[in-house]
Amino acid sequence: MNATQLALSAILLTALVLQALLPALRVLIVLCAAGLACLSSTLLGVGTTHQIMAEVPWDVLILLVALGLLSDIFAHSRLFGLLALHAARWSGARPAAVLLAFAGAMYLVSGLVNNLTALMLVLPILLNLLKLMGVHQRYLSWTLGVVLVACNLGGAATPIGDFPAILLLGSGRMTFAAYLVHAAPPTLFALLILLGIVTLWIRPQRGIDRDPLSARLSVQVMSKLYRNVRLDKRRFAPAAALLLCLLVLWTIVPSSSGVTADLLCWLGVGAVLLVNTHLGERLLRRHVDMEAVLFLLALFVMVAAVRRTGMFASIARQLGALPVSPSIQLVVFLCLAGIMTGIFSAGPSMAALLEVGHSLAQRLPPHAVYVGLALSVCAGSSLFLTAATSGPMAQALTERAELRGGDGEPLRFGFFEFLPAGLLSFSVIQTVALSYAWWNVR
Amino acid sequence: MSELPRGVEQAFGVAAAELGLCTAAWLFVRELAQAGGPLLVQKLRDSLGRTFPVLDAVAAQWLDGSSIPVIDPQAVVAACAGSKTVLVVGFEADFFDALLAQLAGVQFRLLRYSPFGVVDWERILTNYDERVGLTDLSDFQRWAGTRSVVLTFLYGAGDHSAHASPAWLRLVGEDVRAQFHSFIGWDVLRQPMYVYPRWLVEVPRSDFSVLA
C-alpha cells in the first residue's frame, strides 16, 4: 500500500468509524471527510474534484430521490394505514398471527417503496395494536425485531427496494429482471425460515394467554379508529399505474439503449407529481430526503477518491490471490460484507464493497456475487438496531408510544432488546447468502 | 366469560385518546356486555371506574338499562345554523361524526390538545374529508369571526356547572369570548359522574351561550 492509498483510505475509514460512533453527527462527519478527500486527492495528484465528482453515481441518487417521492405519494393515498388495518383485522389480534401478518406486509411493501416511509406509517398502528393486546416485553422485542428484519429482506428482494439494490441497478451490472429473479426467492426463503424459527421454536407469544375477548376488543377498537378511512384513489391510481409501468419498462428496455432506469424513474415520477400538482410541488420543496442524499453523495465522493488510487483493485487482487478456491474467496468476501455492514451500516459498506465485488464478478458468476453481496449487506443491516436507519426510528416511535406490560411495567425497544432477534436474523440471512453464493458458484 | 381482558386499562387509554372518553366507554361497555353480560360490565366499572369516571358513568347507564348512547345532534345543528366554521375543543368520535353528517358545507377545525399526551391527530384526520382540519392553541384565532362558533363536549351539566376537557380552560379567555359568534356545549353524558372527574375540569355553565 503506497502513501496515497494510505492517506485516502484513512480518511474514508476514519469517517466510517466516526459516523458509526456518533450517529447524531453522521452527515456532518461524512461531508467534511468528503471535502478533505477531494483536497487530499487534488494535492496528491490522484484526481481533481471535478474528476471525482464525475465518478459519482448520480443515477443512484436520482433513483433514490424519485422513489422516495413516489413512496410519499403512496403515503398520502393512505395505502399504508389501510394495509396495517387489514393486517390487524386478518390477524384477529392473535399474537402469532399479528407477528406473521405485519412481517409479511412489511416484506411486500418494502420491496416496492421506501421502507422508512412505510414503517413510519405502519409502526404506530402496530404499536397501538400491541397496546390494545396487552403484550409483554419478550413479545414486543421479537415482534418489532422481526418486522424490522422483514423490511430489510423486502428491500433486498427487488432492485428498487433499498439502497444496496438500487446501487446495483444504477451500476448497470445486473438488469432489473435478472436481479428480481435471482434475489427475490432467497430473501423470501430467508424470511420464511426466520418466521418459522421465531413462531414455532422461540415462540415469543408464550405467556400471553389466549384471550378471545381481548382479541375481539382490540380488533373492534382498531376498526373504530379507522372507521372512515378510504383509499384516496386520485392519489393512489396514478402512482400505482406508474409503478407498474416502471416495472415493465425496467424489465424490457435495455440500458444499452441509453434510456436508463434512472431516466425512466425521473420522467415517470415527474409525471405523477404533475398529476398531483400542489402536493407534488410541496413534496419536492419539503419532503426530499436531503439527509440521505448528502450522506450518500459524501460517501460516493470518498469511495471515488479511494478507487482512483487503485486501492479497491488491490484488495480484489489480494482476495483473488488467497490460496483457496474462488468460491471460498467469495465466502470470505460475503462474511466480511455482513460484518462490515453490521458495524458501518448498509450505505457505506455497499458503496465500498461493490468496487471489490465488480472484480470478483469478472471471475465468478455475477449474480452469485451481487445477490450474495446484497443478502450479506441485508444480514449486516439486521445485526444491530443501529445498522439500519429504520432501527433508531422504531426505537423512537416505541418510546413515544409509552407501552406498558400486563403488570404496568414500561416496555422498551432498544439496542439490547433487539439483539436476540438481530443475532438470529443475521445468522439466518448470512447463511442463506453464503448457501446461495456457494450453490451458484460450484 | 367472567374475566376482564388483559391490559384493559392501557387498551381503554388508547381508545379514549383517539375516540374520546364517552365514545370509547360505550364501545368497551358494549363489547364486554356482549361477552359477559352485567357481571363483566360491573367488573369493568369496579376495576377502571375511578381512573376513568366517564367509563364509570357509562357503565352505570348501561346497568340501569340504557343499551346505546343518545346521539342527537339537532340542537347543536340549530345552534350552528349560518356558521361557516366550527372550532371543536375536545373530541368525541361518535358525536362529531353525527354532527359532521348534518352540517354540509361547514368547515371544522379540531383543536390539537389532549389530556392523554401524545395523540396522532393526523391519523384522526384521515377519517374525514377536507372539511375537517387541525388547529393549535397558538393559531386558533385565525378561525375567529362572526360566522364562527366554538363547540365542546360536556360530561354532565348541572344547574351551575358542567365538566369539560381541560382544553376548554386553555382556550376560553375574555379576549377570545369576543371573537366568536357563540360557544356551544354538547352534553354527551347526560348524567352526573359518580366519582372524582379525573381528566376533566369543572367550568361554569355561563361559559356557554348554548347548552345542548
**CATH number, residue B201:** 3.40.50.10470
**What is the extent of the structural domain holding B207?**
74-211
For chain A, the average pLDDT equals 89
Please tell me whether residues B35 and B91 are part of one structural domain: no
Q: Dump strand ranges (E) for A186-340.
A: none
Question: Rounded CA gap, A342 and A358, in Å?
Answer: 21
Q: Give the closest of A134, A220, A221 to B6, CB-based.
A: A134
Judged by a CB distance cut-off of 8 A, whether residue A211 touches chain B is yes
Would you say residue B39 lies in a domain? yes
Please tell me whether residues B184 and B132 are part of one structural domain: yes
Tell me which residues of chain A have a pLDDT lower than 50: none
Q: Which residues of A touch B3 (CB under 8 A)?
A: 213
ipTM above 0.90, yes or no: yes
End-to-end CA distance of chain A: 33
Would you say residue B3 lies in a domain? no
* Domain boundary, last residue among B19, B38, B63: B63
Residue with cell 348541572: B158
Burial of A163 (0-12, 13-18, 19+ CB in 10 A): buried
Sign for the pseudo-dihedral over CA of B142, B147, B150, B153: negative
**pLDDT score of B1:** 63
Would you say residue B1 lies in a domain? no
Please tell me whether residues B114 and B196 are part of one structural domain: yes
Task: Please give the DSSP secondary-structure letter assigned to residue A249.
Answer: H
Whole-number Cα distances in Å, A242 to A174, A237, A265, B9, B44: 22, 8, 9, 45, 51
Judged by a CB distance cut-off of 8 A, whether residue A210 touches chain B is no
Would you say residue B68 lies in a domain? no
**pLDDT score of A322:** 85
Question: Rounded CA gap, B42 and A113, in Å?
Answer: 48
Distance of CA A192 to the CA centre of its chain: 18
What tens digit of pLDDT does each residue of A122-168 get?
898 899 899 989 899 999 999 999 999 999 999 999 988 887 788 77
Q: Which residues of B touch A228 (CB under 8 A)?
A: 97, 127-128
Would you say residue B2 lies in a domain? no
Please tell me whether residues B51 and B110 are part of one structural domain: no
H-run or E-run covering A34: helix A26-43
**pLDDT score of A225:** 92
Question: Rounded CA gap, A255 and B82, in Å?
Answer: 62
Top pLDDT among A170 and B164 is at: B164
Please tell me whether residues B172 and B134 are part of one structural domain: yes
Please tell me whether residues B195 and B117 are part of one structural domain: yes
Please tell me whether residues B32 and B83 are part of one structural domain: no
- Counting the structural domains of chain B, the total is 2
Q: Which residues contact A55 (CB under 8 A, 6 or more apart)?
A: A300, A304, A307, A308
Q: Dump strand ranges (E) for A53-130.
A: none
Would you say residue B170 lies in a domain? yes
Please tell me whether residues B154 and B80 are part of one structural domain: yes
**pLDDT score of A411:** 94
Please tell me whether residues B116 and B53 are part of one structural domain: no
What tens digit of pLDDT does each residue of A341-396 get?
887 777 777 777 887 888 888 888 989 999 999 999 999 999 988 777 788 888 88
Please tell me whether residues B45 and B90 are part of one structural domain: no
**pLDDT score of A167:** 79
Please tell me whether residues B80 and B46 are part of one structural domain: no
What tens digit of pLDDT does each residue of B71-90 get?
999 999 999 999 999 999 99
Query: Is the Cβ pair B14, A221 closer than 8 Å?
Result: yes
Would you say residue B118 lies in a domain? yes
Query: Is the Cβ pair B15, A221 closer than 8 Å?
Result: yes
Please tell me whether residues B56 and B81 are part of one structural domain: no
Would you say residue B196 lies in a domain? yes
Among chain B residues, the shortest Cα distance to A78 is held by B126
